[in-house]
Amino acid sequence: MRSTLTVPRSSLVAPRVVGRYSQAREGNLVLVFGGIHGNEVSGVLALRAVFRHLEATRPSFRGKVVGISGNLAALAAGQRFIDNDLNRHWDAEGIRRLRGQSPETPSSSEDREALQLLQTIDAELGEDGPWTDRIFVDLHATSAGGGGFSIIHDAEANREIAARMHLPLIFGIEKKLQSTLMSHLYDRGMNGVVFEGGRIGSQEAIDVHTAGLWTLLTSLGCLHPKDVPDYRYQINRMIDAAEGLPKAVRTIYRHRIDPEDRFRMLPGYRNFQPVLKDQHLGDDAYGPVLAPLDALLLMPLYQEQGSEGFFLVEAVDY
């Protein structure tokens, strides 16, 4: 059964920084982003739950965690974005352009958001910290159901962060998607993952994001398991979310779309669903869209806004 959650939009008019918690100036700095896409509210809600608990119980904490809200205007509007995708502003040229903009007269709603985010990131990274590692997690959700997973740039440190949350690994998407926040944070020397929590609007995505954050913070040694609400549940939630999924997959095809294509995915597809060459996946202005090869489907598009209809991946040894 699918449960769809109704979150009052007024409750999502969040401050840029959802929370900041630290008890000892040693250990790791962890920056967690939620709602870079404004209709993916699970990340913001998970961050709120984590910070509410930390503030209420004030446990000892080795390192520092900061929760950052992404597209505030789009979160308030319940849309993926207002003018353009906030997750496509972050290449070197885009950053140069943003830094040259006046904060009072940005050229789009997302330019305003990106500039504020950039200043928030600058402030957190610029602070002289004694931090061992600077780690990020970027929380997202997909318009199709089917498991939590992580998108990473393939490096040992990033694999390790995903493994701490028991998340399947997706390799190669970062090469097909330039100018994401993830690539910017890598360029600044951070390690981290994009963490897809599940279907947009589902309670599952909130639970998986929340469990993943508790699991990560504990595994990094920031928190003692006894200070996490129902630690066993949180670990098992992550293990359950990955059950039956490949440990790692490689991206082999990206179905790029433009609005004039009028692409429509056929209903019922899920993340990691096997498809066969020539299988009918959707339709667009030019006719049926068929799978170009045997593969596993990833991120089939079931929302209006988006520039990829779907990805195809294959399991790899890991």
Task: Report the interface residues with Zn ion, using CB under 5 A.
Answer: 37, 40, 140
3-class secondary structure per residue, 71-121: CHHHHHHCCCCCCCCHHHCCCHHHHHHHHCCCCCCCCCHHHHHHHHHHHHH
> CA–CA separation, 157 vs 192, rounded Å?
8
Q: Which is nearer to Zn ion, 29 or 75 (CB)?
A: 75
Q: Can you read off the two tokens belonging to residue 199?
A: 């279907």
Q: Can you read off the two tokens belonging to residue 233?
A: 């549940």
Residues ≥6 apart with Cβ < 8 Å to 55: 19, 21
For residue 140, the minimal CB distance to Zn ion (Å) is 3
For residue 71, the minimal CB distance to Zn ion (Å) is 10
Q: Which is nearer to Zn ion, 207 or 227 (CB)?
A: 207
Which residues share a beta bridge with 288? 283
Q: Which is nearer to Zn ion, 62 or 255 (CB)?
A: 255
Q: Which is nearer to Zn ion, 28 or 69 (CB)?
A: 69
The rounded Cα 112 to chain-centroid distance in angstroms is 20
> CA–CA separation, 125 vs 29, rounded Å?
9
For residue 183, the minimal CB distance to Zn ion (Å) is 15
Q: Which is nearer to Zn ion, 28 or 202 (CB)?
A: 202
Instruction: Give the DSSP letter string of 239-297.
Output: HHHTTTS-SEEEEEEEEE--GGG--EEPTT--TT-EE-TT-EEEEETTEEEE-SSSEEE
CB atoms within 10 A of CB 79: 16
Phi, psi angle pair for 213, to nearest 5°: -70, -45
How far CA 304 is from CA of 59, 256, 265, in Å, comes to 43, 14, 11
For residue 135, the minimal CB distance to Zn ion (Å) is 19
Q: Which is nearer to Zn ion, 140 or 166 (CB)?
A: 140
Q: Which is nearer to Zn ion, 40 or 124 (CB)?
A: 40
For residue 150, the minimal CB distance to Zn ion (Å) is 13
Phi, psi angle pair for 190, to nearest 5°: -90, 160
For residue 222, the minimal CB distance to Zn ion (Å) is 25
Q: Which is nearer to Zn ion, 140 or 209 (CB)?
A: 140
Determine contact, residues 139/41, Cβ cutoff 8 Å.
no
> CA–CA separation, 273 vs 275, rounded Å?
6
For residue 48, the minimal CB distance to Zn ion (Å) is 18
For residue 40, the minimal CB distance to Zn ion (Å) is 5
Q: Which residue is nearest to Zn ion (CB)?
A: 140
